Structure 1
Amino acid sequence: MPVDPWSRPSLTDLRSVLESIGKSDVNHNRNAERLELSVPAEITTSRGNTVAAVTREISRFGLGLLHKGYIQPEEVTVRMASDTREFEYRVKLEWCNPCDNGMFISGGRFITQKASAV
């Protein structure tokens, strides 16, 4: 059975990419602490395309994502869900770089947030 090239990366994919990247000794002078967060997400581009993703990390100001396929840096909508709430964020995707196995990591800063109970 063929694998969908746009399917959501698995947690195994995420771990593999994070291990290959490793921890950086460089001080990035970030304004907020980053927390690891691995939950399913969907990215909707300005053209209306929806890309399945997994979050990598989150801070007060933005988040990092792992997905298959390049996404043009632009304003996007990112949706995530927990057991009790759905979260929808407007994000200014600022960068998107290739990594292992045809996947990409990207990151951006929050523009606005909407949260609602399920």
Structure 2
Amino acid sequence: MSRDPWSRPTLEDLRAILESIGKSPVQHGREAERLELSVPAEIQTSRGNTIASMTREISRTGIGLVHRGSVSPGQVKVRMASETREFEYDVQIEWCQPCENGMFISGGRFLGQRTTNKV
């Protein structure tokens, strides 16, 4: 049975990608500390397409994502949910590049939080 090319990456997919990338020994001079975070997310493009994704990392200023299919740089909405809340953010995708198994990793800068709803 073939896998849906637009399905959300699994935690196993995410782990394999993170292991293949490894930690960079280079100090990137980031303005905010990044924390590893693996939760389901959705990217809504400016054209209204919704792409299932997983978060890789998050900071006060931005977010890293993994997903199937390329996302063009530009403004998107990113939705995430915990057991008690849903979050929606405006994000400026700064870059997107291919990685293992036909998936892509991307990074974006938060432009603002749109909503927080209790589940």
- Normalising to structure 2: TM-score of the pair? 0.97
Distance 1:9 1:28 in 2: 27
Alignment match, 1:46? 46
Note the alpha carbon deviations across 1:53-112, whole angstroms, 9 max, x for none: 000000000100000000000100000000000000000000001000000000000011
Distance 1:27 1:63 in 2: 18
Distance 1:107 1:116 in 2: 24
Distance 1:2 1:31 in 2: 42
Distance 1:80 1:104 in 2: 18
Superposed CA RMSD: 0.6
- Percent identity, please: 69
Alignment match, 1:77? 77
Note the alpha carbon deviations across 1:4-59, whole angstroms, 9 max, x for none: 00000000000000000011100100001000000000000000000000000000
Distance 1:21 1:2 in 2: 26
Alignment match, 2:105? 105
- Normalising to structure 1: TM-score of the pair? 0.98
Alignment match, 2:117? 116
3-state SS, counterpart of residue 101 of structure 2: helix
Alignment match, 1:63? 63
Distance 2:19 2:3 in 1: 23
Which letter does structure 1 place at the counterpart of 2:49? N
Distance 2:104 2:51 in 1: 12
Number of equivalences: 118
What's the offset of the Cα at 1:116?
1.5
Q: Structure 1: where are the runs of 5+ without partners?
A: none
What's the offset of the Cα at 1:3?
1.1
Q: Structure 2: where are the runs of 5+ without partners?
A: none
